């Protein structure tokens, strides 16, 4: 019986290594963060159990609540602009690349190439390009007569966050292009022929045929983008440094968590607030889980079949 059971469940032995890695690097840190958030901390030394006090501090006590809600708003700005760019430009280029024309494969590879780069590489690359003194971006503006628009893009409160958002969109754009292209290639030509017979023009065919059938791809990319944006840390940290620009106008939840956990006297409290940082991490997890769950439910309801 033991031999038959082993033969029938042999797949468990192949799943075990992946399961162990998942538990070690995903489940254990998550459960640890939940536990840490319920205790007071003296630096790296765990103190007494205090329930939800750390969450109360993050959400209601100055300066943590100001920093938290500001970072939360920046995350939504980050996500909103990225969503608009990837949904419009991504779908536009994907539609172009489905056509068999000379040079399109090369362009597709060029758009996808930034996605293969490390965020560290992308961040340092754009730090050089956006340098206010000798950066090619400002020099290009001066060269074409738009020198009055040249500025310190990462050094001003009004432009720093949006500059990083567009850098992130530049790096990310190749992924939705490939996903949307795969969805477009899965649409049968019969649907377009039927729409043409019914008198639909190109725009009407796109609205009535293409968009509904590619909507699951758009929804999937949107959910993945949301998860990625609400976990973003490296690009913002690299392009803004450890201290950030004035009044933390580029702070996201990820960077706020880091500065709280590993020491930042500008928060107004003691450096290295492990319990408060863990509470921030748990709140990030709850936000991502809540939105992702209802996003997936909504996505399943919106699927159509012709």
In this predicted structure, the answer to whether residue 148 has a pLDDT above a threshold of 60 is yes
Contact 230, 290 (CB under 8 A): no
Q: What pLDDT, on the 0 to 100 scale, is given for residue 246? A: 47
In this predicted structure, the answer to whether residue 64 has a pLDDT above a threshold of 50 is yes
What is residue 49's three-state secondary structure? strand
pLDDT in tens, 197-248: 888 888 888 888 888 888 888 888 999 999 999 988 889 888 876 444 444 7
Q: What pLDDT, on the 0 to 100 scale, is given for residue 243? A: 45
Residue 113: pLDDT band by 50, 70, 90 thresholds? confident
Q: What pLDDT, on the 0 to 100 scale, is given for residue 73? A: 93
239 or 300, which is more confident: 239
9 or 32, which is more confident: 32
- What architecture is the 52-115+166-302 domain classified under in CATH? Orthogonal Bundle (1.10)
Q: What pLDDT, on the 0 to 100 scale, is given for residue 250? A: 85
Element holding 219 (H helix, E strand): helix 211-229
Residue 267: pLDDT band by 50, 70, 90 thresholds? very low
Q: In this structure, what are the phi and psi dihedrals at residue 252, rounded to the nearest 5 degrees?
A: -110, 175
Q: What is the mean pLDDT of residues 128-155?
A: 84
Element holding 41 (H helix, E strand): strand 39-42
pLDDT in tens, 158-171: 888 899 999 999 99
In this predicted structure, the answer to whether residue 152 has a pLDDT above a threshold of 80 is yes
Q: What pLDDT, on the 0 to 100 scale, is given for residue 5? A: 65
The dihedral of CA 179, 234, 287, 165: what is its sign? negative
Q: What is the mean pLDDT of residues 41-59?
A: 82
DSSP string, 54-121: HHHHHHHSTTHHHHHHHHHHHHHHHHHHHHHHIIIIIHHHHHHHTS--TTHHHHHHHHHGGGGS-HHH
* pLDDT above 90 as % of the chain: 13
DSSP string, 227-272: HHHTT--HHHHHHHTTT-SGGGTT--HHHHHHHHHH--GGGSS-S-
Q: What pLDDT, on the 0 to 100 scale, is given for residue 219? A: 87
Q: What is the mean pLDDT of residues 177-205?
A: 85
What are the residue boundaries of the structural domains of the chain, listed by start?
52-115+166-302
């Amino acid at each position: 019986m033991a031999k038959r059971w082993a033969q029938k469940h042999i797949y468990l032995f192949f799943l075990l290594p992946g399961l162990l890695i998942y538990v070690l690097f995903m489940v254990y840190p998550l459960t640890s963060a939940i536990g840490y958030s319920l205790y007071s901390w003296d630096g790296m030394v765990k103190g007494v159990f205090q329930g939800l006090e750390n969450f109360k501090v993050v959400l209601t006590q100055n300066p943590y609540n100001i920093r938290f809600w500001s970072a939360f708003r920046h995350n939504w700005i980050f996500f909103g602009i990225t969503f608009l760019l990837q949904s419009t430009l991504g779908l536009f280029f994907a539609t172009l690349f489905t056509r068999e024309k000379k040079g399109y494969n090369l362009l597709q590879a060029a758009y996808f190439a930034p996605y293969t780069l490390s965020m560290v590489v992308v961040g340092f690359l754009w730090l050089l390009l956006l340098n206010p003194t000798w950066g090619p971006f400002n020099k290009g503006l001066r060269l074409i007569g738009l020198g009055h628009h040249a500025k310190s893009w990462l050094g001003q409160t009004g432009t720093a966050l949006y500059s990083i958002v567009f850098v992130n969109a530049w790096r990310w754009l190749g992924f939705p292009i490939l996903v949307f292209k795969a969805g477009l290639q899965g649409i049968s030509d019969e649907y377009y022929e039927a729409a043409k017979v019914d008198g639909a023009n190109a725009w009407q065919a796109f609205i009535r045929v293409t968009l509904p059938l590619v909507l699951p791809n758009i929804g999937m990319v949107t959910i993945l983008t949301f998860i990625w944006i609400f976990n973003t840390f490296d690009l913002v940290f690299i392009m803004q440094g450890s201290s950030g620009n004035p009044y933390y106008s580029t702070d996201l939840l990820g960077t706020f968590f880091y500065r709280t956990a590993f020491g930042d006297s500008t928060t107004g409290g003691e450096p290295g607030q492990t319990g408060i940082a863990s509470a921030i991490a748990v709140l990030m997890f709850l936000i991502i889980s809540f939105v992702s769950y209802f996003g997936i439910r909504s996505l399943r309801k919106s699927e159509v079949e012709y």
